[in-house]
A and B are shown apart, each in its own frame.
Chain A
Amino acid sequence: MISLDSAGSIRPISRSMWCKTTSETAQEWIPIAPQRRLRDKTAVSLPGADTGVCIELRWNAMGSVNAATGEATTVSSPGTIIFPHSALSHGVTFISYHSEEPSFAEAFSCSTETLLTVSSQTDAILDMRVPLSASREEKALRLELVTRVAEIFEDAKEELFEDGMESDFEEKLTKLIVQYERNALAVLRSLLFLRSVSFEAGAEALRIVGHLDHPYTHSERLKLLEECLTHSRFEIRDGAVIGLALLDNPSAIPYVRNAIQSEASQSLREDMAHLLLQLQETLDALFPKKD
C-alpha cells in the first residue's frame, strides 16, 4: 500500500516494481526500487534512466489504453523519475523508456518497459508482467482484466465464504478464467502476489482455481497454485493447499515437498503433509508399482 501521512512526508512503498528487458540474452525480470511517494509526486527508480532520457507515460482513463496519453516526464536525477501524482491515479499506467547509458545497455539491452497499475480502491501499485513481445491487443486486454478482476475482489468484500457453498465471486471468477484463460490467471497471480486483495478472498480464489474443471487452463492453474504454496500470507498458502488437493495433480509433489521445508506454521505443515500423501496415492494409482 502506498499512503501519505498527514504531514505529507515521504513513506516508502513496501513492494518493488519490476521491469522487463528486451535483451535476447537476459530475459529476466529485474526489481526497480525504491519508490517513494511525495506530497503530489511519486518517485520511481528505473535502471539506466539518466538525465535527459525521455519517458513516455500513458494511462487508462476511460477503460481504454489507447484513448488517453499521459504527459512526458524527464529524469530529475540519475536513475530516478518523478511522476506527477495525478499520472498514477487514473487506473492503469504504462511506462516505457529508452536508455543509451552504457552499463545499462550492456547488461539489459537498451529498451525497457514496465506496466504499473494503480487501483483506485486500494491505491496499490500492481505489477503486470506482460512480455514485450505481446501484441498491443494482449497488453490492452491484460490492463482491462486488472480492472475487472479487481472489481470482482471488491464485490467479494460483501460475501462470507463457506466451505462447499457457491458464491457470486466463484461465478464471476470462473467465467473470467474460462473466457480469458492464461491472461485472467496472470492477472489473478499479480493481484495475489502484490497483496492488494483480501486474503480471505484470495484463498477462496485458489480453491476455485483448483476446483475448476477446465482442461485448457489446467497447467497454468497448477502453476499458480504451486507458486502460492510459498506465498508470504498464511491464508493464501492454505488456499493453495486446498486448491492443489482439489486439482489432485501429482506433478505438484516436488513443490509441496519444498513448501513443507520452508513452512513455519505447524498446522499448515501438517496439511501440506496430508496433501503430499494424497498426491502420492494418486501417483501410485496412476502408475502402480510392479511386484
Chain B
Amino acid sequence: MPFFLRKIRKARWANDKGYEWLGAEDIQADALSDLKTENNELSVWHVEEDESNLRQIVVALGANYKKLDTVDYALVDQRVLLTAGIKAVEAAGDTPYENANEWHRNLIELTAEKVIEIAKNMRKERRIARVWPQDLQRHLTRAIEAGEVKLSRLEERLQKELQGRTL
C-alpha cells in the first residue's frame, strides 16, 4: 500500500528527549503544529509503495524553499488512514517541479479526532526521516541539470545558494 508524506519538523516528533513526562508512545502537543489544517484540509503527498517517487517529492518540496535547509517528513500508510474514514483527493501541487505536482493530495473534511488519528499513526509507524541540506542541494542540482526543474523558477536566495555555495 502506498504512503502519504507530510512535511514536518523532526524534533517535534522525537520521543527520546529525556523528558520524564513524555512516554515512548506519547505525542508532544507541539507536534500538532505540523498538522495545521486550512479549511479542514491537510496537504500531503502520495508516495508509491516502493517509494520510487520519494526523491522527486523531496525535490518538489525543496524547490519551494527560500533557502537551503533540511526536509523533514513523515510517511504514513494510506490504508490505515483511509480505513479510519479519512478522505483524500487529488489536488495538483504548486511547486517548480511540475512533474511531481501530480502526486499532491489533500486530506479533506478533517475533524480534530481525525487529525489526532493521523498524528497517532505517524507516531506509531515511526517513518520519520530527514533530508540534509547538503543532500537537498545535490538533489536539486541534479533535477536542474536534468531539466526537471528550471533554476529561474526557484526563489532568488535559493538560486544564489545553489550556484554559489558549496555545502
A interface residue numbers (CB < 8 A to B) = 160-166, 200, 203, 207, 211, 213, 234-235, 238-239, 242, 245-246, 248, 264-268, 271, 274, 278
Contacts and interface: CB of A to CB of B under 8 A. Distances in A.
A254 to B, nearest CB: 20
| Max chain A Cβ within 10 angstroms of own Cβ: one of B17, B18, B36, B66 | B17
B167 A248 contact: yes
A240 B9 CA distance: 15
A163 B14 contact: no
Contact of A163 (B17, B36, B72, B157): B72
Determine chain A's interface SS by DSSP, over half rule: helix
Query: What size tier do the contact residues of chain B reach?
Result: 20 to 34
Given A160-B36, A163-B65, A166-B66, A245 B14 contact: no
Interface stretch (B49-57, B126-134, B143-151): B126-134
Contacts of B117: none
Given A265-B14, A267-B10, 11 more contacts: A162-B7, A163-B9, A163-B65, A163-B70, A164-B69, A166-B67, A234-B14, A239-B11, A267-B14, A267-B16, A278-B134
B71 interface: yes
A242 B130 CA distance: 11
Interface string B36-47: 100000000000
B132 A245 contact: yes
Given A164-B62, A274-B132, A278-B132, A234 B9 contact: no
A222 to B, nearest CB: 15
A245 B11 contact: no
B17 A265 contact: yes
Interface of B: 7, 9-11, 14, 16-19, 30, 33, 36, 61-62, 64-72, 130, 132-134, 157, 165-167
Contact of A207 (B18, B69, B72, B165): B69
Contact of A235 (B11, B133, B157): B11
Nearest to A247: B167
A261 to B, nearest CB: 16
A248 B64 CA distance: 23
Contacts of A271: 130
Contact of A238 (B11, B30, B66, B165): B11
A208 B104 CA distance: 29
